[in-house]
């Protein structure tokens, strides 16, 4: 018996649709494109085939997104959309209205319907023994198909042998931090499927906890599971990622709240303080804030001034402490340098043609050169023109 129910849209009326999922049991609702095709003009005739791209937008009435437990997926505009998730016990008895808006990407027409989800309480919720499988060769929309999910639950029932078995939740590997696979060899994203039963885990499911299998998993090797062949025909399960949860052995973490330090008593309505509070004088704080850094800066300035001005040795003291031979050598170097500079100013060089006397083209008088005799020849160009 497969407790998971797949709800499909078959009605052609425009009224709201009601569904009744159970808390803690996987809920699947298929948004079929064939139904919404008849909502967009021009309306197709009986037997006429149209393949317009249609996408869906789903949100909680009055809010921009869906409830936290409800997910939606549609792979392409030419495939059906699927709403799926596991209702929680907190939403039992509270109708959840989901607005479904269909968009025709060819004609830009829209159609809107409401889906009323009435969450019912389950008598066997929650099932105490829960196992989560990671199926590597499936995408989430493939796993949500009723026949595929039924085959998987049948395989689990054969290796577990429970009296009651429910599909609790289905999660895409991408929602768990998985990466998008490469578009080669028809790789799949992977999907996590959580199921619950009323009997303890079978020995086959417990084999993954053996030290040998744990060692193989740590070395990124496949563990040896005897019942893997019952799944391998259709489902490739990563046994290193299986999670077994026994809620009968979990200790409740709820603790009674004891009033004491850190917990304020109930004081009723908040009463703000009155306006007659005494104002605080910040003048002293302001002075301290400025005086202390200013005093430190002044002391540092005085110390630096004393070092720079009062501790100077001077030229005379430096010469007294310098050996005579070193002073004579330094004086000779300075004298030689001065003589070289004076000689460089009086050296004779060939004057450029542009500076030689020339005749005036009208009067015939000789024009003196552009440069005088005391002209500094050190600034003349190095390359001279031949006379």
In a domain, 322, yes or no: no
pLDDT in tens, 252-276: 555 565 655 566 666 777 777 777 7
Mean pLDDT value across residues 58-63: 91
What is the three-class DSSP state of 12?
Answer: coil
Could you tell me if 109 and 10 lie in one domain?
yes
Percent of the chain whose predicted confidence (pLDDT) is above 90: 17
pLDDT of residue 321: 74
Among 46-50, 222-226, 299-303, name the one with the lowest average pLDDT. Answer: 46-50
Buried b / exposed e over 203-225, threshold 16 CB at 10 Å, is: eebebbeeeebeebbeeeeebeb
DSSP H helices, 42-187, are 140-143, 146-160
- Structure tokens that stand for 88 in this block: 């929680």
pLDDT of residue 133: 93
Among 92-101, 204-213, 342-351, name the one with the lowest average pLDDT. Answer: 342-351
In a domain, 257, yes or no: no
Mean pLDDT value across residues 40-58: 75
pLDDT at 11 over 50: no
Q: How many domains does the chain have?
A: 2
**Cα within 13 Å of Cα(85), Cβ side:** 14
pLDDT band at 356 (very low <50, low <70, confident <90, very high): low
DSSP H helices, the chain, are 33-37, 140-143, 146-160, 203-206, 211-218, 229-232, 283-305, 314-321, 324-345
pLDDT at 59 over 60: yes
Q: Which of the listed residues 220, 246, 272 is the one where a domain comes to its end?
A: 246
pLDDT of residue 355: 54
In a domain, 222, yes or no: yes
* Average pLDDT, rounded, for the chain: 79
In a domain, 213, yes or no: yes
- 146 vs 370, more confident: 146
Among 7-11, 50-54, 312-316, 353-357, name the one with the lowest average pLDDT. Answer: 7-11
Q: Which of the listed residues 190, 222, 246 is the one where a domain comes to its end?
A: 246
In a domain, 23, yes or no: yes
pLDDT at 368 over 50: yes
pLDDT at 188 over 80: yes
Could you tell me if 160 and 112 lie in one domain?
no
CA–CA dist 218, 239 (Å, integer): 12
pLDDT band at 116 (very low <50, low <70, confident <90, very high): very high
Could you tell me if 77 and 142 lie in one domain?
no
CA–CA dist 195, 134 (Å, integer): 11
Q: Which of the listed residues 246, 277, 304 is the one where a domain comes to its end?
A: 246
Could you tell me if 137 and 112 lie in one domain?
no
In a domain, 154, yes or no: yes
Among 174-178, 237-241, 259-263, 370-374, name the one with the lowest average pLDDT. Answer: 370-374
Could you tell me if 49 and 140 lie in one domain?
no
Could you tell me if 14 and 71 lie in one domain?
yes
Residues whose CB falls within 8 Å of the CB of residue 192, separated by 6 or more in sequence, listed in order = 132, 133, 134, 135, 169, 170, 171, 172, 173, 176
Mean pLDDT value across residues 41-66: 79
Could you tell me if 133 and 197 lie in one domain?
yes
- 88 vs 59, more confident: 59
In a domain, 274, yes or no: no
Enter the pTM of the model: 0.58
**Measuring CA to CA, which residue among 29, 26, 33 is closest to residue 6?**
29
CA–CA dist 199, 383 (Å, integer): 108
- 180 vs 374, more confident: 180
- Structure tokens that stand for 211 in this block: 């030290």
In a domain, 381, yes or no: no
Mean pLDDT value across residues 185-201: 88
Could you tell me if 110 and 199 lie in one domain?
no
Among 6-15, 36-45, 74-83, name the one with the lowest average pLDDT. Answer: 6-15
Could you tell me if 162 and 101 lie in one domain?
no
Could you tell me if 100 and 146 lie in one domain?
no
Domain that holds residue 193: 129-246
Could you tell me if 99 and 208 lie in one domain?
no
Looking at mean pLDDT, say which of 38-52, 145-159, 258-272 comes out highest. Answer: 145-159
Among 54-63, 125-134, 279-288, 360-369, name the one with the lowest average pLDDT. Answer: 360-369
CA–CA dist 104, 37 (Å, integer): 8
CATH number of the domain encompassing residue 76: 2.60.40.10
Q: Report the chain's terminal Cα–Cα distance, integer Å.
A: 121
Could you tell me if 71 and 104 lie in one domain?
yes
pLDDT in tens, 277-325: 777 888 888 889 999 999 999 999 999 998 888 777 677 777 777 788 8
Cβ–Cβ < 8 Å for 44, 19? no
- Structure tokens that stand for 289 in this block: 């804030």
In degrees to the nearest 10, what's the CA dihedral of 373, 377, 379, 383? 120
- Structure tokens that stand for 354 in this block: 């542009």
pLDDT of residue 269: 78
pLDDT of residue 8: 33
Mean pLDDT value across residues 147-166: 89
pLDDT at 193 over 90: yes
Mean pLDDT value across residues 3-7: 38
């Amino acid at each position: 018996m497969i407790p998971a129910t797949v709800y499909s849209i078959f009605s052609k009326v425009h009224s709201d649709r009601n569904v009744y999922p159970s808390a803690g049991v996987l809920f699947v609702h298929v948004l079929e494109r064939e139904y919404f095709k008849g909502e967009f003009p021009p309306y197709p005739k009986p037997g006429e085939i149209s393949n317009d791209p249609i996408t869906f937008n789903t949100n909680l009435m009055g809010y921009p997104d869906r409830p936290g437990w409800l997910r939606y997926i549609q792979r392409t505009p030419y495939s059906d959309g699927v709403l799926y998730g596991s209702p929680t016990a907190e939403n039992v008895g509270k109708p959840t209205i989901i607005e479904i808006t269909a968009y025709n990407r060819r004609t830009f027409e829209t159609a809107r319907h409401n889906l009323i989800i009435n969450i019912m309480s389950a008598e066997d919720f929650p099932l105490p023994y829960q196992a989560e499988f990671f199926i590597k060769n499936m995408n989430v929309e493939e796993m949500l198909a009723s026949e595929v999910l039924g085959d998987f639950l049948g395989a689990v029932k054969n290796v577990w042998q429970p009296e009651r078995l429910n599909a609790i939740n289905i999660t895409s590997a991408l929602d768990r931090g998985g990466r998008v696979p490469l578009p080669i060899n028809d790789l799949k994203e992977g999907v996590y499927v959580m199921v619950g039963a009323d009997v303890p885990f079978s020995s086959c499911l417990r084999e993954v906890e053996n030290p040998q299998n744990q060692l193989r998993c740590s070395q990124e090797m496949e563990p040896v599971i005897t019942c893997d062949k019952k799944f391998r025909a259709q489902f490739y399960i990563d046994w290193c990622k299986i999670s077994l949860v026994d809620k009968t052995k979990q200790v409740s973490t709820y603790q009674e709240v004891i009033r004491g330090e850190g917990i304020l008593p109930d004081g009723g309505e908040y009463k703000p303080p009155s306006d007659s509070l005494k104002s605080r004088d910040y003048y002293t704080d302001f002075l301290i804030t400025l005086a202390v850094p200013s005093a430190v800066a002044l002391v540092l300035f005085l110390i630096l001034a004393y070092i720079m001005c009062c501790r100077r040795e001077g030229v005379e003291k430096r010469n007294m402490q310098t050996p005579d031979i070193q002073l004579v050598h330094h004086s000779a170097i300075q004298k030689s340098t001065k003589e070289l500079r004076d000689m460089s100013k009086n050296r004779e060089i060939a004057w450029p043609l542009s500076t030689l006397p020339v005749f005036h083209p009208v009067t015939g008088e000789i024009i003196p050169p552009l440069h005088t005799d005391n002209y500094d020849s050190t600034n003349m160009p190095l390359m001279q023109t031949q006379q």
